[in-house]
Amino acid sequence: MENKVKTYVEPTEANVAEAISAIAEFAKQNEYQIKGELKMPTNMFGMTKSLEFESLSKKKVLRDYLTRLNRKMSLRNANRFLHFLFKKIYKLDEAPKVDLSEKEVKIQAAKKVWKETAKAAELLRLAYVTEKGDYYKKRAK
């Protein structure tokens, strides 16, 4: 049996910038909406903030998120990475978010309304069947 060596993407500024551009490209390809500004935060002098880790565990968590994004890009992975990066590393109040496209949101809302209407229709059908019972069967004899 072979030993599998796990390779990680190290949390450097270049890798983080590459991940952010990959998320932007992913959102563009799938027509997702990006809520907030999807760019590296800047300090008061207009320079981008550097990655400063309070602890080794935060560095490892960011490394794991970068590795997951490199392996498979998904809405969940992208949003979890962005939230951790902007809230825990850069300590900002707002984090950008990749959201479903407007069309998908409309489809999901329409399906929700349709399900509620179908449930109401089923209740009305059951009320009708209960009221009718075997009335017509008794009458035919």
Q: pLDDT tens across 107-131, in order?
A: 999 999 999 999 999 999 999 999 9
In this prediction the pTM is: 0.79
| pLDDT exceeds cutoff 80 at 141 | no
Burial 88-127 (b: 16+ CB within 10 A, else e): ebbeeeebbbbbeeeeeeeeeeeeeeeeeeeeeeeeeeee
